[in-house]
Amino acid sequence: MRYGDISTFQSGVAIPLFSLRSKSGVGIGEYLDLIPFAKWCKLCDFNIIQLLPVNDTGAEASPYSARSAFALNPVFINIQAVSGSSEFEDEIEQAKDEFDNQERIDYYKISTWKRNILKKIFNNRYDQLKKDKELQKWIDANAWAKGYCAYAMLKAQNNESSWKDWKKYQNPTSEDIEKLWSKNQKEMLYQAWMQFIAEMQFTAAVNEISKLGIHIKGDIPILINEDSADVWANRNYFSLDDRAGAPPDMFSYSGQNWGFPTYRWDVLEKDGFRWWKDRLAQASKFYHAYRIDHVLGFFRIWSIPQREVTGILGRFNPCIPLTWDLLHSAGFSRETLEYLRRPNYSVDQLREFLGDETENIISVYFESLPNEATRFVFKPEFYNERAITSLDEPQNVKDALLKVYWNRIFIPAGDENTFYPFWYWYNQPVLATLPQNEQETLKRLIHENEAAQEGLWEQNATKLLSVLANETDMLVCAEDLGAVPHCVPVVLKKLNILSLRIERWARNWDAPYSPYYDMAEYPRLSVCTTSCHDTSSLRGLWTEPDFDRDLYWSHAQLSGTAPETLTPPVVRDILAHVFSSNSLFCILPVQDYFALSSTLSEVPAEEERVNIPGTVGGKNWTYRIPVTVEELESNNSLNSEIRKLVDTRRRRPMWKI
> Bridge-partner residues for 89, per DSSP?
none
Pairwise CA distance, residues 37 & 209, whole Å = 9
Pairwise CA distance, residues 442 & 26, whole Å = 61
Closest CA to 311 of 357, 250, 244, 363: 244
**Domains in the chain and their CATH numbers?**
10-233 (3.20.20.80), 315-453 (no CATH), 498-651 (no CATH)
Residue 10: which pLDDT band, with cuts at 50, 70 and 90?
very high
- Using DSSP's 3-state secondary structure scheme, residue 244 falls into strand
pTM: 0.94
Has residue 60 got a pLDDT over 80? Answer: yes
User: Other C-beta atoms within 10 Å of 36: how many?
Assistant: 21
Burial of 195 (0-12, 13-18, 19+ CB in 10 A): buried
Contact 452, 320 (CB under 8 A): yes
Closest CA to 221 of 244, 199, 201: 244
Q: What number is the average pLDDT over the span 520-545? A: 96
Residue-level pLDDT at 371: 85
Q: Which amino acid is at 508?
A: N
Chain center to CA of 647: 32
Residue 413: which pLDDT band, with cuts at 50, 70 and 90?
confident
DSSP state of 504: G
Closest CA to 232 of 169, 304, 157: 169
pLDDT in tens, 349-387: 999 999 999 999 999 999 999 988 999 999 999 999 999
- Using DSSP's 3-state secondary structure scheme, residue 162 falls into coil
Residue-level pLDDT at 152: 97
pLDDT in tens, 254-305: 999 999 999 999 999 999 999 999 999 999 999 999 999 999 999 999 999 9
Residue-level pLDDT at 130: 95
Residue 510: which pLDDT band, with cuts at 50, 70 and 90?
confident
Has residue 657 got a pLDDT over 60? Answer: no
Pairwise CA distance, residues 464 & 456, whole Å = 12
Closest CA to 293 of 489, 593, 101, 64: 64
Residue-level pLDDT at 656: 56
CA torsion through residues 393, 395, 396, 397, sign: positive
What percentage of residues in the chain have a pLDDT greater than 90? 95
- The DSSP string of 536-547 is --HHHHHT-TT-
- Using DSSP's 3-state secondary structure scheme, residue 216 falls into strand
Has residue 134 got a pLDDT over 60? Answer: yes
- The DSSP string of 380-431 is GGG-SHHHHHTSSS-HHHHHHHHHHHH--SEE--SSTTEEEE-TTGGG-HHH
Chain center to CA of 651: 34
Quick one: which H or E segment has residue 502? strand 499-502
pLDDT in tens, 232-249: 999 999 999 999 999 998
List CB contacts of 449: < 8 A, sequence separation 6 or more.
Answer: 320, 321, 322, 421
Pairwise CA distance, residues 308 & 64, whole Å = 22
Residue-level pLDDT at 412: 87
Has residue 655 got a pLDDT over 90? Answer: no
Pairing relation of β-strands 585-589 and 10-14? parallel
Residue 561: which pLDDT band, with cuts at 50, 70 and 90?
very high
Closest CA to 262 of 320, 314, 313, 322: 314
Residue-level pLDDT at 249: 84
pLDDT in tens, 93-113: 999 999 988 999 999 999 999
